[in-house]
Amino acid sequence: MRLRNRVALVTGAVGAIGGAVAKAFAQEGAALCLADRAGTGGIAAEVAALGGRVIEAALDVTRRAEIDAAVAATLAAFGRLDILVNVAGIVSMGPAATLAETEWDRVLDINLKGSFLCCQAVIPAMRAQRYGRIVNLGSIIGKNGGNPRPWIDPAEQTRASNVAYGASKAGVHAMTFFLARELAADGITVNAVAPGPIATAMTTDFPAALAAMIPVGRMGRAEEVAEAVLFLAAETAGFINGEVLDVNGGMWAD
């Protein structure tokens, strides 16, 4: 029970990776606030069935007041807040040459600013406890310039390129480094997990030619990302701070 007596707020909890994190955390003894844009009924019920203590919060990560309300509800229900996992995110495909400015703003707002606002919102409670674990969801795309190879197959650029997404996730990585330094003295660690292609709704159209570039020979599973998040969220990871942990089957190494 690596998270016994710990309380976690997980955004994007309705999604594949958020749901896997929620279940993994519940199995390790954490109490949970599961947050997503609409209700989190299905996953909350699954967590409760595992014996987990759970509350739900409907929030948009771009809206500070809704995030603050979820943090307040978590503290009211469980008396503390030990772990934040920023999973909420969106993807957006297409060539950089024609990307709409509004789409750039939408992706950066949710993926980067949304994660930042959630981090800000939990700092006071974690500081007061002198303990905290923040795990952000980055991406291989924030490191590798994108997976498509338009010089080999121009169709890949349309189906799999996502410059706004990559820039937002590179921002998440940089934000992780800054917060890790700023908060370390308060007993709070800040790390990120950078998945490669994971078989979820987000990657339904991922081209087979690109999947074939993954050295382990398959796409990843949400549960494998959750395992990395769990590792960083545990008390035992206290000397790991400002790390971006790759979970990508060997597709990118740095």
Ligand X SMILES: NC(=O)c1ccc[n+]([C@@H]2O[C@H](COP(=O)([O-])OP(=O)(O)OC[C@H]3O[C@@H](n4cnc5c(N)ncnc54)[C@H](O)[C@@H]3O)[C@@H](O)[C@H]2O)c1
Closest CB to ligand X among 180 and 225? 225
Tell me which of 1, 152, 201, 212 binds ligand X, using CB under 6 A: 201
| Interface of this chain with ligand X, residues 11 to 50, rule: CB under 6 A | 11-12, 14-18, 36-37
Inter-residue contact 25 to 227 (CB < 8 Å): no
Q: Which of 25, 165, 214, 222 is catalytic?
A: 165
How is residue 6 written in tokens? Answer: 């710990």
d(CA 214, CA 220): 9
d(CA 247, CA 250): 8
Closest CB to ligand X among 3 and 59? 59
Inter-residue contact 85 to 21 (CB < 8 Å): yes
Q: Which position has the token pair 């990302």?
A: 225
Closest CB to ligand X among 61 and 81? 61
The contact mask relative to ligand X for 95-134 (x = CB under 6 A, - = no) is: ---------------x---x--------------------
DSSP reduced 3-state for 196: coil
- If you compute the radius of gyration of the chain from its CA atoms, what whole number of angstroms results? 18
Q: DSSP states of 37-80 as a string?
A: SS--HHHHHHHHHTT--EEEEE--TT-HHHHHHHHHHHHHHHS-
How is residue 106 written in tokens? Answer: 């939408």
Residue 195 binds ligand X, judged by CB under 6 A: yes
* 165 catalytic residue (yes or no): yes
| Interface of this chain with ligand X, residues 70 to 89, rule: CB under 6 A | 87-89
Which residue stretch of 1-9, 56-64, 120-128, 154-162 sits at the interface with ligand X (rule: CB under 6 A)? 56-64
Inter-residue contact 156 to 148 (CB < 8 Å): yes
Closest CB to ligand X among 16 and 75? 16
Q: Residue 124 Cβ, how far from ligand X at the closest point, in Å? A: 21
Residues contributing to the site for ligand X (CB under 6 A):
11-12, 14-18, 36-37, 59-62, 87-90, 110, 114, 137, 139, 195, 197-198, 200-203
Residues carrying an active site annotation: 165
